[in-house]
Structure 1
């Protein structure tokens, strides 16, 4: 499997890519660029919308439009319209921000937090504490905290068919598996399934139809690693970008893996010799993904 450059987005931090099967289009956010992107794969039409704060995640709503994580708020959004606040997961933790977010199989939106690593201008901000947690937001806006505030940079969200929730801490270089109870909506029994993998660090992921996790290896990893739900490496795909950040399956048969990347913290000298950093990639695979759930009842 070989990656090709689909779109030279030059994203500062491209993240949270999703495939809209209704539109045959990709949506993703650029956190540092404060933009939401849309790309029609077949026509190459590209649209962007500015956001009032750093956008950190995006999901599709059953009622139409999107649910979007900003730096502090989770909002409803329609392209070209204002953002409508649904929930603020950590109103009493001003030094934290939202990071990963994904619609769960039951139609809720799960978001995770971390100590804010961004200055107001988007420049890197020093981190000195592990204060991130995972939250569930149901369609009514009710917020439930699912973990203690103990994680560094929170990334990766996926739910397997046998009710395990997969999650990662980038700073710890670990991927975890939790038991997920679909009745109580609670997670427990945390197990570390990947630790110390020596290609970069774990960032965003998606699951395929065989419950294998496709994990972006950021911070110089320059690869996608495919792990079983138990943490066994089965495939490693080399990439032409050094900071892959998020991935999703899409296309007509959900066999194409789309990958965002970042150029955050990279020097002008590095970017001059590596101009593809921040691009959107496509990988034709022999595997199949699954459609993204939609937010709402």
Structure 2
């Protein structure tokens, strides 16, 4: 069965950070430059969004709450309240932490590990679009309100995924054109022994690695910005298993969702960096027929 690609949400400027909520059977994602958070319910085709005061790098539901989410707003990790309705106002419930005080960076992506700890990173100042100041960001772990720096000299923090069986944490700094693997301790949340496991340039892949997820076989799915594709990678062998073409150039992130976690949702962007990105660039896509399933996404434990 060949993969089928379908547009499910209208274009935004910079779609990112997709999170599938199994309880709500809904997809959450952000549009960073539009300052918006989004909710899409496939069963009803309902799409709601609302605006925040600043660039928002991710959205993750708070575990056990019906209407609270942790978001990355500029350099702050916040808990906000949102009823999920279109255009409705949000309320800041709590500021968890601010990182890199006074620096011209921003939070770019984050996810929770299987224990509900938040891992997220920052990126350097970007001016003009596509021109990011290198080595100015870091990767952090947030437990409650306690922030721990896990890596520094990060240029553009992006994809994250965990494999409990392999005791592995996978991570992307887009500027490296590679995927990192760390040893991962699920009890402490610590990471160590970094090595690179998939080199895009060595595999003749144009574009930069961006968002990432993992399937139940332990294989990675990697969005390629400026590459019009998602890569299916075996991280243990470093072998490229499959390349899924998408009708947008700037592919930003991926997550498995749907009732059976067998639909790959893909976000994209329509940033005018060197040329105009015409529709459906910036849309969110659903890819079916892949023959694999993802893992449930953890919410944030306050």
- Per the normalisation by structure 2, the TM-score is 0.90
1:294 paired residue number: 299
In the alignment, does 2:156 pair up with 1:153?
Answer: yes
How many aligned positions are there?
Answer: 285
Shift of the 69–45 alpha-carbon distance from structure 1 to 2, 3 Å rule, reads same
2:247 to 226, 240, 256: 240
In the alignment, does 2:50 pair up with 1:49?
Answer: yes
2:228 paired residue number: 222
Kindly indicate whether the alpha-carbon contact (under 8 Å) linking 1:199 and 1:223 is maintained by their aligned counterparts in 2.
Answer: no
2:85 paired residue number: none
Unaligned 5+ runs, structure 1 = none
**Over residues 126-163 of structure 1, what are the superposed CA-to-partner deviations in whole Å (9 max), with x where a residue is unaligned?**
43331221110002x1011111x212111110111221
How far the C-alpha of 1:113 sits from its partner, in A, is 1.1
Kindly indicate whether the alpha-carbon contact (under 8 Å) linking 1:2 and 1:237 is maintained by their aligned counterparts in 2.
Answer: no
1:78 paired residue number: 81
1:270 paired residue number: 276
**Over residues 203-223 of structure 1, what are the superposed CA-to-partner deviations in whole Å (9 max), with x where a residue is unaligned?**
00111111111000112x001
1:59 paired residue number: 60
**1:241-256 to 2 correspondence within 5 Å?**
241-256=248-263
Give the Cα separation in 1 of the matches to 2:29 and 2:100: 24
Kindly indicate whether the alpha-carbon contact (under 8 Å) linking 1:67 and 1:75 is maintained by their aligned counterparts in 2.
Answer: yes
Answer 1 or 2: which has greater strand percent.
2
Give the Cα separation in 2 of the matches to 1:215 and 1:57: 17
* Superposition RMSD in Å: 1.6
Residue 295 of structure 2: SS of its match in structure 1? coil
2:135 paired residue number: 130
Residue 59 of structure 2: SS of its match in structure 1? strand
Residue 231 of structure 2: SS of its match in structure 1? strand
1:116 paired residue number: 125
Give the Cα separation in 2 of the matches to 1:127 and 1:241: 22
**Over residues 23-72 of structure 1, what are the superposed CA-to-partner deviations in whole Å (9 max), with x where a residue is unaligned?**
11111000011100111111111111101110001112113121111111
Give the Cα separation in 2 of the matches to 1:143 and 1:49: 28
How far the C-alpha of 1:125 sits from its partner, in A, is 7.2
**1:85-96 to 2 correspondence within 5 Å?**
85-92=95-102, 94-96=103-105
**Over residues 152-193 of structure 1, what are the superposed CA-to-partner deviations in whole Å (9 max), with x where a residue is unaligned?**
111110111221110112122111001112233221111101
Give the Cα separation in 1 of the matches to 2:263 and 2:25: 12
Higher deviation after alignment, 125-134 or 97-106 = 125-134
- Per the normalisation by structure 1, the TM-score is 0.91
Kindly indicate whether the alpha-carbon contact (under 8 Å) linking 2:223 and 2:231 is maintained by their aligned counterparts in 1.
Answer: yes
Give the Cα separation in 2 of the matches to 1:73 and 1:22: 27
How far the C-alpha of 1:116 sits from its partner, in A, is 2.1
Give the Cα separation in 2 of the matches to 1:289 and 1:129: 32
**Over residues 78-110 of structure 1, what are the superposed CA-to-partner deviations in whole Å (9 max), with x where a residue is unaligned?**
213212311112225x12211111111111111
